[in-house]
């Protein structure tokens, strides 16, 4: 039911970051990435993670934990190699 939709949605949106993170780590090229947008995105993901923990919603917790790590790596590369 509803929780399965949550897990599928979480999996798809989380998996979508893997190719971008891989490309950034491999090439160190972040020229096409907006620093301001990524700062806001990482903060938003962190807040979703905190919210998921507060309401004990496992799809939110798992997906946002992984997305936070991947997007933070991309942000760190953007800051380091700009």
CA geometry: angle 2, 19, 28, nearest 5 deg: 140
Residue count (the chain): 82
Which residue in this structure is represented by tokens 């919210």?
51
The pLDDT tens digits of the residues spanning 27-79 come to 999 999 999 999 999 999 999 999 999 999 888 899 999 999 999 999 999 99
Joined together, the tokens standing for residue 71 give 């997007």
Model-level pTM?
0.86
């Amino acid at each position: 039911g509803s929780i399965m939709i949550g897990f599928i949605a979480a999996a798809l949106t989380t998996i979508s970051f893997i190719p971008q993170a891989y490309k950034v780590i491999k090439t160190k090229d972040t020229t096409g990435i907006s620093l301001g947008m990524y700062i806001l995105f990482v903060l938003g993901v962190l807040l979703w993670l905190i919210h998921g923990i507060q309401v004990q919603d496992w799809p939110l917790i798992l997906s946002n934990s992984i997305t936070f790590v991947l997007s933070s790596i991309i942000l760190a590369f953007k800051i380091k190699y700009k």
